[in-house]
Structure 1
Amino acid sequence: MRVFLLLLVSLSVFSCTKTEEKPDTIISIEVSKDGYKPSDITVSRGQVVLFKVTALDEGISAAFGNVGHCFYILPPYDVMVKNIKKGQTKEVKVKMVYPGDFVFTCPYCSGIFPTNGVIHVR
């Protein structure tokens, strides 16, 4: 039981990549029904990145209410910024601790529009 609890605590400590640390770099991203710009991003492992995500349109609001877009970096990062409305910019700081290539998407409309991209952590 102790080993299980230690493992659980370790995973929760090491999987948290959102941070309040000072950013090393700022990346501005625009999202619309046409996708993300830029959709291909390269950062260095260990950097704290401030992502500033701006919605250029209403996303899928006509079908599902006014939810706008979101910015979701898939696990192991598992970081999401929700409900970015047209003309609005939301921010999230992420410590890029895992090397590799990681998809980011808008789960709200990724099945309808080409809203996805890749972050390369080197």
Structure 2
Amino acid sequence: MKKAFLLLVSVFIIFSCTKTEEKPDVIVDIKVSKNGYSPNDITVKQGQVVLFRITATDEGISAGYGSSNVGHCFYIMPPYDVLVKNIKKGETKEVKVKMVFPGDFLFTCPYCSGIFPTKGDLHVK
């Protein structure tokens, strides 16, 4: 019983780890600002490895908000649960994600989503 449980947990961990170092199948360039993401509606194929390149075009949240989180971020909601944070003006950060879960998912900036319209839709077909 214990071995079966450990096997199940291992399989879950393997399949739930969507960040990867695999070669990307597609590259998606995203600009983020206080006006939101561009593009804010993205469609990819299930099974693809997507390289998201996120560039901040403005300062986003400043340190004056009392947080160590500054700039913008890019967060794909669970089950992906992928976060790229502290993207400062003019900076580009990258993350590769294996699109294993089909469906429609939200991506957002948790830092400023209550202040600015920073959200978008990710469709995995």
TM-score, length of structure 1 as denominator length = 0.94
Q: Distance in 2 between matches of 1:60 and 1:88?
A: 14
Partners of 1:5 and 1:63 lie apart in 2 by: 43
Distance 2:44 2:82 in 1: 16
- Between the aligned partners of 2:100 and 2:94, the Cα distance in structure 1 is 19
Report % sequence identity. 72
C-alpha deviations, 1:54-110, integer Å up to 9, x for none? Answer: 001111114235611110001111111110001100000111111100100001011
- Residues 55 and 64 of structure 1: is their aligned pair in 2 closer, same or farther, counting only changes over 3 Å? farther
Where in structure 2 are there 5+ consecutive unaligned residues? none
Unaligned 5+ runs, structure 1: none
Match in the other structure for 1:24: 25
Cα RMSD of the aligned pairs, angstroms, is: 1.2
Write the distance in 2 (CA, Å) between the matches of 1:36 and 1:114: 8
Counterpart mapping for 1:1-122 below 5 A? 1-61=2-62, 62-64=64-66, 67-122=70-125
Structure 1 moving runs of 4+ over 4 Å: none
Give 1:6 deviation, angstroms: 2.2
Which residue type is aligned with residue 64 of structure 1? G
Give the TM-score taking structure 2 as reference length: 0.92
Secondary structure in 2 aligned to 1:86? coil
